[in-house]
Amino acid sequence: MRRIEEEIAERALAYVLDPPSDPNDVIQYASPDDLIAVFDDSVGFSFAADAPAERAESIVAAVEKVIEHSVHTSHPRFINQNFAGPDPVSVVGDWLGAALNTTGATFEAAPVFTLMESAVLSKLGRVCGYIPESDELIPPLPPGLFCPGGSTATLYALQLARHRHQPDIAQRGASGERLVLFVSSAGHYAATKSAALLGIGIDNVIKVESDSVGAMVPVALETAIADATADGAVPFAVIGTSGTTVTSAFDDLNALADICEAHRLWLHVDGCYGGSALFSGNHRHLLDGVERSDSFVWNLHKMMGMTQQCTALLVRDPQQLDRCFAGKADYLFQPDKLYADYDSGDRTFQCARRIDVLKLWLSWKHHGDTGFASRIDHAVAMADHTRARIAGSNGEFAPVSGTFTNVVFAWVPPALRPITLDPAAIADLDPQTHEVLHTLPPMVKAQMQAEGTAMVGFQPIAGLNTFRMLFMNSTVTTTDVDAILDCISEYGANAVASAEQN
């Protein structure tokens, strides 16, 4: 046997080069107990006291079980959540970063990657309009930083907003005034979780009315700000969402920017999901006005297929990063080191930081701007195909919501067709119909998982469980979409039949 590292790497590479796709299963599902038992004849799943060093052959056998029982997120029938289908170039770029194992905090330990972050953040800053196209391509102070995920970026952005409002916040702590921030009712829960951690409190995150697709109603924001102010609270920030989690709705950023400018509020744009629309000339208008915001978070591990995680937090005024986050640790950021002025670590909260930029840099060099645009256009084309199939289904599928890459819909039992299921209609359903429709998606999904045919997400809309198909995997074809819808039809019918038998 070769070295264990080679054996494991070989299996990982084979997976990347030829990932499971139809007719292979998306998942070979097992209960927790069954899953643990699968490892009994190799290394055992758990660690007892005095855990022994296992034989290399047993570890390699365990690796094969890990692969076999993991969810194949690169499979074109994994349409389950807002990441899918990692770009293979990103995967091996991630590998190279891991092999070179360093931290992004200092130029000293990461000379290539410090400059690479600057090059990529500059490009992202130009794409979103924070800096002009004529700006430096590799500025010493880039317009943002990389973070471990969108929630963390939201946390940092809200701290930047609070810091502008109260410049001594870092030193002295919160002043005691009741700060409030605003986000649409369809916005991501990172807003409330961040408010909790910042000591602002979930109660001080004001959920602003959103329309039937999930976009914030600007006039409702105006009202909410006035109400909060009248109530003695101090508004300091608004989160606009570009691509909500469930329906991919886009807030009108220009309308939000007008309001924020009038009230001197920090405008943060949560483009974790939809930010990548900026890559496509056909869709970048969805983010019109983002250049007027103060901060913008963009998860390249969602639509762009970077591996987990690749999050850019962009800021219009990068000087604020240093003012807000600097810790000035003298054992790390020694000013008497070579090129210490390039050190990025004192502009963020983290100390050691994994290299997330290399995979994006390689992928972008490989695909170019045109390739990045194609990925977006393809995703929307798949969603459009899904919408067309639903519209032509003679009531078998009922559209519920969604836009851009997201399609939210129900499968309707024959006895209930045709039925209207937009969010307003859902509220008016009689309890028995609601119950029938509500219990179907979990049953359909359980059968999908049991048979491994597909993975499609479901979630409540106005209290009713509905399916969500959302697209970003570039290997998904209309054949996959059709097969998944057929699968939902079949399992839906099975669920109805089984309910009738009981």
Q: From the CB of residue 272, how many other CB atoms can be counted at a distance below 10 Å? A: 29
Q: Closer to its own copies at the Cβ: 259 or 462?
A: 462
Sheet holding 464-470, edge to edge: 78-79, 455-461, 464-470, 406-411, 397-401
Task: Write down the least CB distance from residue 161 to its own copies, Å.
Answer: 13
* 409 touches 397 (CB < 8 A): yes
Q: Closer to its own copies at the Cβ: 284 or 385?
A: 284
Measured at the CA of 476, the angle between CA 246 and CA 74, to 5 degrees, comes to: 80
* 319 touches 92 (CB < 8 A): no
Q: Closer to its own copies at the Cβ: 170 or 220?
A: 170
* 81 touches 26 (CB < 8 A): no
| DSSP three-state, residue 298 | strand
* 302 touches 472 (CB < 8 A): yes
Task: Write down the least CB distance from residue 143 to its own copies, Å.
Answer: 14
Q: Closer to its own copies at the Cβ: 94 or 396?
A: 94
Q: Closer to its own copies at the Cβ: 257 or 491?
A: 491
Label residue 29 exposed, middle or buried (CB < 10 Å: 0-12, 13-18, 19+): middle
Residue of 270, 287, 274, 275 whose CA lies nearest to 247: 274
- Which helix (H) or strand (E) element contains residue 237? strand 234-241
State the residue for tokens 């296992």.
54
**What distance in Å separates the CA atoms of residue 101 and residue 92, rounded to the nearest whole number?**
14
Task: Write down the least CB distance from residue 223 to its own copies, Å.
Answer: 23
Task: Write down the least CB distance from residue 114 to its own copies, Å.
Answer: 8
Q: Closer to its own copies at the Cβ: 56 or 419?
A: 56
Task: Write down the least CB distance from residue 460 to its own copies, Å.
Answer: 5
Q: Closer to its own copies at the Cβ: 459 or 478?
A: 459
Task: Write down the least CB distance from residue 422 to its own copies, Å.
Answer: 18
Task: Write down the least CB distance from residue 91 to its own copies, Å.
Answer: 5
